[in-house]
Amino acid sequence: MKMDGGFLNNLGKVYTYYTGGFAAFVVLIAILEQLGMPSRWLGYLYMAATIGVYAFIGIISRTGEMSEYYVAGRKVPAFYNGMATAADWMSAASFIGMAGSFYLLGYNGLAFALGWTGGFVLVAVLMAPFLRKFGQYTVPDFLGARFGGNVARLIGVVVLITASFVYVVAQIVGVGIIASRFLGMAFEIAVFVGLVGILVCSMMGGMKAVTWTQVAQYIILIIAYLIPVTLLSAKFFGVPIPQLMYGFALERIEGFEKTLGVAQSYVAPFINARGQFDMTQAMNFFFLVFCLMLGTASLPHVLMRFFTTPSVREARTSVAWTLVFVGALYLTAPAYAAFARLEVYQNVIGQPIASLPVWVQSWGAIGLVGACDAANASTIFSLCRGVTGNADGILQVAEFRIHPDAIVLATPEIAGLPYVIAGLVAAGGLAAALSTADGLLLAQSNALSHDLYYRMINPNADTAKRLQISKILLVVVALLAAWVAGSMGADILFLVAWAFSIAAAGLFAPLVLGIWSKTATSAGAVAGMIVGFGVTFTYLIWTEFAGPSFKAFFGDAATLAPARGRQVATIWGINNISGGIFGVPLAFLVTYVVSQFTEKPSKEMQDFIESIRIPKGAVREVGTSRAVE
Amino acid sequence: MSGARGSAGAGGASAASAVITPEKAKAYWGETSSHMMVVLAIWVFFSFFVHLFAPSLNAIHMLGFPLGYWFASQGSILVFIAAIWYYASKQNQIDEKFDVAED
């Protein structure tokens, strides 16, 4: 406790020293590289040092206190909770995948930039302050208190686990990909290392340990993200401000598109391959933005972070800080994509095969880039399978292939930087994946141990027993996730985007109405959650894995198209990634209609709602048997 | 149960009813709701509405950026950040005006 107080009073100093220490470590690696240490060793040093630091924080933050384990003792200042939430939020997909999506999809990819940031406006205005005032431990806790008990709580747990489990598997896969690519580790061993990294951070100290580790991880991931692209900006334009200078890259890209005859302009919205306006693309863009935003405001591993601030007031400010820290990465990601595209148009397309830049060869060798001009190109570049080049010795636009992950990963090499920077990017990606995995894992084990075990199965369990159960469940869920990651690998990554639609469909309506409506009843909310979640989940599973039967059932309204090696169905052209567009309005509608026909919430319930709306004073929960702790 | 409940439970149930009269609570919630609507209107405008005009906005260039592309990649995000700061500071003022801020 004594050390804890000392730590909390010196957060600024502690994390400044930490950042300085990390900078010194990077300099040390640079010196070792100059002295001729092989890259692989440098990579191991990066991995060992960063995971070592996270483990150290995890171990010194161990706790046996309930409120520290579940909500970090509610002592996390707004600024640091903002940083921790940003790390919690930004996963391997944000760090590595997003810039790649921008590169490949052009304007349409920006749906991810909008969706994954705008959702925080909803978190701030509709959710965070009220959940903080409610002030228990989990999101299902709130559903249970507001909607009269265990049915609502249980459905909340089901939605939470459904949305979070695939998500955490994807993070472990992300760790495996980064470690195998940069360190040459076998994928399965890398998954195991990732698992250990996640468990040491979260098992002994719960939310308290995860919070202070996430702050440390944010610092590493943001440094790692900003440095390569800043140096690339200096190389291209002489000014090290990528967020501003990529405008000139876009201008030059538009110029190249004219001379190269590219129909689908990089910056043009809602167009198809022939460059014409496409209504389906526009619709899917806006639906995806909608689902990602509402999903952001419903995902429990994010919402639970706002239980940890000292006050309602700080919960509000903390959302603002979160978006500042998230923005630092999101405002930069389009620069990665634009610079990569400029590099490709400027130095790759139209070049003789013999004089392509070095990075094309080195990333081609591990299957992330393909220069498919020669007839036998697919024997050299695995990405060239199915592409027929014209074998004229020059690389045309149609003959170039690049995997989205290469955009961020290859930037250090495009900029001509030494391995010390490439290793830094790997360490950043690792931090992003681990921090998100920590939060997701904790959200799931808390839901199972607190909501399912303590609230529903054994309300008489004492503190020690509950913490023990939490920690055991944490390990069980982590092992299960690692097992799925190890056996399914990258095939599962596309499922991550589903988490947003699932969370939005199952949780957005009951959370919003629980706070903002005094007339929504328990039966209404339960029915709304079941219908919203059920419809969206069915749409996702049915269209993805049984497309032909979906098409047979819905006839002309549905279409089939090949995707991800399957026949995937859509209805009215709506991609299943935006499946929340059906569930969310239905959840609101069903809750409203059923509430009209069921008994109005009691006076006590209305008092309870009143009390969470007002920052001052106690929470008047219905029923005295449900005192917290 | 032993253990520390967070700040919220400390006052006890009787203190809560003394915090605010029903009329004042209604006025507070009214002002809070309209503040919410303003922020949500900003959110709707910059999440959806402005991007409907992306094709035409792209004809305008600033510092090389086609404006439609810029709004989706940076402009809206900057507005979201500003909107949350605005929300937090104004809501804190409303709390103080009705004397319902935490001690």
Q: Which amino acid is at A52?
A: G
- Rounded CA gap, A529 and A321, in Å? 31
- Rounded CA gap, A589 and A595, in Å? 10
User: Do A615 and B100 lie within an 8 Å CB cutoff?
Assistant: yes
Burial of B56 (0-12, 13-18, 19+ CB in 10 A): exposed
Ranked by mean pLDDT, the top range of A402-411, A536-545, A575-584, A588-597 is A588-597
- Whether A629 has a pLDDT exceeding 80, the answer reads no
User: Do A324 and B81 lie within an 8 Å CB cutoff?
Assistant: yes
Strand partners, A371: A400
Q: What is the dihedral of CA A37, A222, A292, A318, to 10 degrees?
A: 150
- Rounded CA gap, A457 and A469, in Å? 12
Q: Give the pLDDT confidence score for residue A4 in this predicted structure.
A: 52
A285-305 residue pLDDT tens: 999 999 999 999 999 999 999
The domain covering A2-338+417-518+601-623 belongs, at the CATH homologous superfamily level, to Sodium/glucose cotransporter (1.20.1730.10)
**Three-state secondary structure string covering A256-269:** HHHHHCCCCCCCCC
A443-490 residue pLDDT tens: 999 999 888 888 888 888 888 888 888 888 988 999 999 898 888 877
Q: Give the pLDDT confidence score for residue A81 in this predicted structure.
A: 95
- Whether A130 has a pLDDT exceeding 90, the answer reads yes
- Whether A502 has a pLDDT exceeding 90, the answer reads yes
Segment holding A318, helix H or strand E: helix A312-330
Task: Tell me how crowded residue A209 is: count the other CB atoms within 10 A of its CB.
Answer: 28
A42–chain B nearest CA distance, Å: 35
Shortest CA distance from A625: residue in chain B: B1
Chain B residues touching A330 at Cβ < 8 A: 77
User: Do B101 and A615 lie within an 8 Å CB cutoff?
Assistant: yes
A308–chain B nearest CA distance, Å: 10
Q: Which amino acid is at A364?
A: G
Q: Give the pLDDT confidence score for residue A547 in this predicted structure.
A: 86
Alpha-carbon distances, residue A141 vs A138, A147, A208, A364 (angstroms): 5, 10, 19, 50
B14-64 residue pLDDT tens: 444 456 888 888 999 999 999 999 999 999 999 999 999 998 898 999 998
- Whether B65 has a pLDDT exceeding 50, the answer reads yes
Which of B48, B55, B69 faces A286 most closely, judged by CB atoms?
B48
ipTM above 0.85, yes or no: yes
Shortest CA distance from B99: residue in chain A: A616
- Rounded CA gap, A89 and B55, in Å? 31
A·B CB contacts under 8 A: 198
Domains in chain A: boundaries: 2-338+417-518+601-623, 344-414
Q: Please give the share of chain A, as a percent, with pLDDT higher than 90.
A: 50
A576-601 residue pLDDT tens: 888 999 999 999 999 999 999 998 99
A309-338 residue pLDDT tens: 999 999 999 999 999 999 999 999 999 999
- Rounded CA gap, A548 and A545, in Å? 9
Chain B interface, best mutation among A610, A612, A621, A625, by max B CB count within 10 A = A610
Chain A residues touching B43 at Cβ < 8 A: 118, 121-122, 125
